[in-house]
Amino acid sequence: MLAPWYTPRPSDCLVARLLTERADDGVRACIITGAPGVGKTSFARALAEGMGGRLIEYYAHHWSNDEDLFVAVDPARVAAIAGGHDMPLSKTYRRGALLRATLLSRRMPVVLLLDEWDKSPEHCDALLLEFLQSGVVHGRHGERWCANTRQLAVVITSNGLRELIEPLQRRCFRYEMPYLSPEIEADVLRKATGAPVGAIRLVVKAMNLIRANGRSSPSLQEGMMLLRAMALANGVNDVRLLVRGYLLKDAQDEGALGDLPVLLWGEWKRNGCKKVSLA
């Protein structure tokens, strides 16, 4: 049920089945938490592709409101009509994320990704909860649009900036997404960069040491960028700078690195590497 390009954990597969196979009342939804870079957004994209459907993305922000979610008046089109432009009044409305997902679900499978929802104001939780319970979007003038809940799944991601209201958490399946296993991370990095196996193992080991003992949480993508940037290094000092720049977000975590820059440079030279994929 997930796209073939996505490398799933066993738990990811179960969550995907919960979002596509369970017959719940209302809209099936999941709140995914976890460190930045573990793949929360990628999961939603892979789910939509695996369902053979469409992904609708909405990135939350601190000024999110009901118009972003349901229906908003488009000022530019209102001004055009006021200026004499011949346009139906219905065209003055802009569909919000929930309405777009609702209408599209009538024609095909849809995954609605509400990314970084914890950035939105708390009142948006109540608006979302009402939609998840009913699968219905209400317009400003009594309109009523019903989603095909069998073809709609909602993925909500959160980085913990604020706690989502308890009724919303109770309504959704809650999934704390872990990092991939070191073996899978190493395999993904090998396929993506073509870097030496020894260098990849050193980077994966360092990332996990920092995650376990430091304040930083280096992602797989940051490890990938580090290995790709190794093609530009000319010595241990360059490697040390690259490691700090990609893996560390807190200077206090440098102690967790140990001799990584020296070992990584030695592994790079031992394999005679000059360049890896910079794409």
Check whether 90 has a pLDDT greater than 50: no
Check whether 9 has a pLDDT greater than 50: yes
Whether residue 59 is found in the same domain as residue 155? yes
Whether residue 263 is found in the same domain as residue 167? no
Whether residue 110 is found in the same domain as residue 152? yes
Whether residue 190 is found in the same domain as residue 166? no
Identify whether 214 is part of a domain: yes
Whether residue 204 is found in the same domain as residue 257? yes
Whether residue 69 is found in the same domain as residue 135? yes
Identify whether 115 is part of a domain: yes
Whether residue 35 is found in the same domain as residue 167? yes
Identify whether 37 is part of a domain: yes
The pLDDT value recorded for residue 150 is 93
Identify whether 238 is part of a domain: yes
Boundary-marking domain end, from 155, 176, 197: 176
The three-state (H, E, C) secondary structure of 13-48, written as one string? HHHHHHHHHCCCCCCEEEEEECCCCCCHHHHHHHHH
Whether residue 169 is found in the same domain as residue 235? no
- Give the global pTM: 0.81
Check residue 212 and give left, alpha or beta (phi > 0: left; psi -120 to 50: alpha): alpha
Sign of CA dihedral 207, 209, 211, 213: negative
Indicate which CATH number applies to the domain containing 47.
3.40.50.300
Check whether 93 has a pLDDT greater than 70: no
- 75 pLDDT band (50/70/90 cuts)? very low
CB atoms closer than 10 angstroms to residue 15: 21
Identify whether 3 is part of a domain: no
The more confidently predicted of residues 160 and 109 is 109
Boundary-marking domain end, from 123, 145, 176: 176
Over pLDDT 90: what percentage of the chain?
64
Whether residue 35 is found in the same domain as residue 65? yes
Whether residue 152 is found in the same domain as residue 27? yes
The pLDDT value recorded for residue 70 is 83
CA–CA distance, 50 with 46 (Å, rounded to integer) = 6
CA–CA distance, 132 with 150 (Å, rounded to integer) = 13
Whether residue 30 is found in the same domain as residue 147? yes
The pLDDT value recorded for residue 66 is 80
Boundary-marking domain end, from 159, 176, 193: 176
Lowest mean pLDDT among 60-69, 83-92, 117-126, 261-270: 83-92
The pLDDT value recorded for residue 71 is 67
Identify whether 2 is part of a domain: no
Identify whether 1 is part of a domain: no
Q: Which structural domain range is residue 248 located in?
A: 182-270
pLDDT tens figures, 123-168 = 999 999 999 999 999 877 678 899 999 999 999 999 988 999 999 9
pLDDT tens figures, 245-254 = 999 888 788 7
The pLDDT value recorded for residue 176 is 96
Structural domains counted in the chain: 2
Whether residue 150 is found in the same domain as residue 219? no
Query: SS3 of 58, please?
Result: strand
The pLDDT value recorded for residue 10 is 92
Buried b (16+ CB within 10 A) or exposed e, 241-277: ebbeebbbeeeebbebbeebbebbbbbbeeeebeebe
The pLDDT value recorded for residue 80 is 41
Identify whether 4 is part of a domain: no
Averaged pLDDT score across all residues of the chain: 86
pLDDT tens figures, 34-56 = 988 899 999 999 999 999 999 99
